[in-house]
Amino acid sequence: MTDPGTLDEVHRRYERERLKRLRPDGNDQYIAAEGVFSHYVDDPYMPRVNREPMVESPTDAVDVAFIGGGFAGLLTGAALRQAGVERVRLIDKGGDVGGTWYWNRYPGAMCDTASLIYLPLLEGTGDLLSEKYTRGPDILEHCRRIARHFDLYRDAVFSSEVTGLTWDDADRQWVIATNRGDRLRARHVCVGTGPLHKAKLPGIPGIEEFAGHSFHTSRWDYDYTGGDSDGSVMTGLANRRVGIIGTGATAVQCIPHLARSAGELFVFQRTPSSIDVRANRTLDYDELTPKMGPGWQRRWLENFTILQTGGIADEDLVMDGWTDISQRIRDRVLANPERGFGPEAMLAAYHESDDEKMEEIRARVDSIVDDPATADALKPWYRQLCKRPCFHDEYLDSFNRSNVHLIDTDGRGVEHITEGGVMVGDVEFELDCIIYASGFEVGTDFQRRWGFDPAGRGGQLLSDAWADGMSTLHGMHVHGFPNMFVIGPSQAANLISNIPHNLVEAGRTVASIIAEAERRRAETVEVTAEAERDWVALLESGGRTFGGDSSCTPGYYNNEGRPIEGADRRGMLGYPSGPVEYFRYIEAWRESGEFAGLVFD
Ligand code: NDP
């Protein structure tokens, strides 16, 4: 263990590095892929086919429309089918289901939450995975399998972006407008557009001047690069000078592929990611089958969530990078019983195990990267959970190749883009292609991320209803917006390490409410103002939020280092007793059959 004096110096360095990166413009440093930048979010995977607008009458209305065809839509759709709901319509701007896995087809895309819990409905669809961590194309295929299995393609509308959502009080239906001129109708509507779906670009001066080729990682241009999402060599890059801006979780996965394919690769780094061991491996079903009896996935999900949120379980069924972090903290708490088991002991254990882990991560860089200066620049100086922890076994080694150049900007970032390339300090790097691995909007106004602002009863806009911040019952129901269900982790379990778990539960909840409405022949379901107020008060009393640690290096986990206050903070809140208790609570709420707080009319 590092001695306390050295550790103090490490912590002082964390602070110095944080201050270097803190910017007055926070989230405003990024620009939306709109207007002159809108081509950055065109769909490269599915050609746009012209079609006539669909204008539906009240008698055409489907039972449930779901805005978003990713895991949220698929899981809710599956649960609705299981509850016997007939007409379910997924609507997505992409050309197929899959959501984040539809868009993020960059080479090397993979999920590093263990597949047996990340991929939902493995039991329902009879799929057997081969690897501990699943590759993006296989996850996309699993999404398609769910859609086929539950017949969700039947009424789906793809390549169509929702631009308006209006409650029709006369017919008690929602009217959904799209950018294809559609006016679709639905009795109930769900909004599940995903926490990270709106690509953003760095607002670097001169970005529009670049005369070479450029694209965002979530719209990979294989026509230009060659290769495919399975990771074949990108022959189109063989003689090209390629730059990639950003070194977050996406860049970490695609850089090894770019390194193999590009003539020259320039990696422009502002903050290095922490790169822990990945150790992907073939799943051994001889060992796993005894732990996988009927209902296994639900038990595994609960086991992961318990361990990942600081609880105690007899066994770690999942054993991935996330449960390893928790295991270390727990072991330390148990090894020091004299410090007690309260929040302070937990925090001390977290800090100590993090100090140890970050030392390991920095030592790993030295053990893999040959050039000492490059190795130094790749070392992260912050706590592991300040940014998305990365797990990869080839990323660091890419920097040993002679065609790969790390351009570290010492926390400043790329300062200027020119017609010919990228400027860092006074040096211009001439490039044929710039790839923006600059992430997705988090913490911007919801209507900007969703692309529409629902108008509920009496034409009230959701942005007005939420003028003081997000306000719901269970993250899902909003007073004045009958038959509308918001699907996401916020104001509910807020489990970030395994987003699909939130969505599995939300899907079950929506399906049971809609089935109940049908049973009662109710045309509307709406939360009371009182139930909504009480729920928000409960969340605020607990103060459990996602991210927001302003002592961390800036990033989307902490609102770019600026305090998250007032209205913005509301949207980050989670159930005070944590995800495990939330999932138990919501199951009991559903199963009681009372649906407390909702009015069926
Ligand atoms: P991120 O937001 O994590 O990364 C954006 C990157 O752009 C950062 O490295 C940022 O630097 C950098 N950047 C921004 N402006 C500049 C600039 N002017 N100059 C240089 N660099 C700049 O986006 P990602 O797409 O990488 O990841 C988004 C999320 O998606 C992840 O956090 C994770 O939740 C999920 N994901 C999960 C994966 C998995 O399961 N393994 C894989 C991929 C994504 P800085 O850090 O300094 O802000």
Helix, strand, or coil (residue 403): coil
Q: Ligand 1, from 383, 388, 441, 559: best to mutate by most atoms within 8 Å of Cβ?
A: 388
- Whose tokens are 């069924």? That residue is 317
Mean pLDDT, residues 351-369 taken together: 96
pLDDT at 550 over 90: no
Q: Which helix (H) or strand (E) holds 358?
A: helix 343-368
Write a three-state SS string for 225-254.
HCCCCCCCCCHHHCCCEEEEECCCHHHHHH
Q: pLDDT for 20-73, tens place per residue?
A: 999 999 999 999 999 999 999 999 999 989 999 999 999 999 999 999 999 999
Angle at CA 291, nearest 5°, toward 328 and 115?
65
pLDDT band at 347 (very low <50, low <70, confident <90, very high): confident
Least confident span in 200-204, 273-277, 290-294, 415-419: 290-294
**How far does CA 595 lie from the centroid of its chain?**
29
Q: Is the CB of 254 under 6 A from ligand 1?
A: no
Q: Which of 570, 573, 551 is nearest to 561 (CA)?
A: 551
Q: What is the mean pLDDT of the chain?
A: 94
pLDDT at 2: 65
Rounded to whole angstroms, the Cα distance separating 74 from 151 reads 10
Q: Which of 290, 234, 286, 302 is nearest to 263 (CA)?
A: 234
Q: Is the CB of 250 under 6 A from ligand 1?
A: yes
Helix, strand, or coil (residue 427): strand
Q: How far is the CA of 265 from the centre of ligand 1 (A)?
A: 18
**CB-CB contact of 182 with 176 (8 Å):** yes
Q: Which CA distances in Å does 529 have to 228, 465, 473?
A: 51, 11, 9
Rounded to whole angstroms, the Cα distance separating 332 from 334 reads 5
pLDDT at 343: 81
Q: Which CA distances in Å does 55 have to 68, 69, 217, 577?
A: 20, 21, 35, 46
**How many C-beta neighbours within 10 Å does residue 151 have?**
12
Q: Is the CB of 435 under 6 A from ligand 1?
A: no
Report which DSSP code applies to 333. H
Q: Ligand 1, from 216, 229, 247: best to mutate by most atoms within 8 Å of Cβ?
A: 247
**How many C-beta neighbours within 10 Å does residue 285 have?**
12
Q: Is the CB of 246 under 6 A from ligand 1?
A: yes
Q: Ligand 1, from 197, 250, 257: best to mutate by most atoms within 8 Å of Cβ?
A: 250
Q: pLDDT for 47-57, tens place per residue?
A: 989 999 999 99
The b-or-e profile of 61-84 (16+ CB within 10 A means b, else e) is bbbbbbbbbbbbbbbbbbbbbebe
pLDDT at 566: 81
Q: Which CA distances in Å does 482 have to 189, 190, 254, 466?
A: 9, 11, 43, 15
Q: pLDDT for 518-538, tens place per residue?
A: 999 999 999 999 999 999 999
Q: Is the CB of 196 under 6 A from ligand 1?
A: yes
Q: Which CA distances in Å does 503 have to 79, 116, 488?
A: 11, 16, 7
Rounded to whole angstroms, the Cα distance separating 432 from 224 reads 11
- Length of the chain measured in residues: 601
* CA-based R_g, the chain, Å: 24
Q: Is the CB of 438 under 6 A from ligand 1?
A: yes
Q: pLDDT for 424-460, tens place per residue?
A: 999 999 999 999 999 999 988 999 999 999 999 999 9
pLDDT at 561 over 60: yes
Stated pTM of the model? 0.96
Mean pLDDT, residues 150-168 taken together: 98
**CB-CB contact of 478 with 457 (8 Å):** no
Rounded to whole angstroms, the Cα distance separating 345 from 337 reads 9
Helix 499-519 and helix 579-591, axial crossing angle in degrees, nearest 10: 10
Atom number of ligand 1 nearest to Cα 109: 42
Percentage of the chain beyond pLDDT 70 is: 99
Mean pLDDT, residues 401-423 taken together: 97
Q: pLDDT for 283-321, tens place per residue?
A: 998 999 899 989 999 999 999 999 988 888 889 999 888
Backbone φ and ψ of 188, nearest 5°: -120, 150
pLDDT at 1: 56
Q: Is the CB of 437 under 6 A from ligand 1?
A: yes
pLDDT at 418 over 80: yes
Q: pLDDT for 88-128, tens place per residue?
A: 999 999 999 999 999 999 999 999 889 999 999 998 676 67
Q: pLDDT for 459-514, tens place per residue?
A: 999 999 999 999 999 999 999 999 999 999 999 999 988 999 999 999 999 999 99
Q: Which of 192, 250, 236 is nearest to 68 (CA)?
A: 192
Q: Is 268 exposed, middle or buried, given 0-12, 13-18 or 19+ CB atoms closer than 10 A?
A: buried
**How many C-beta neighbours within 10 Å does residue 12 have?**
10
**How many C-beta neighbours within 10 Å does residue 53 have?**
12
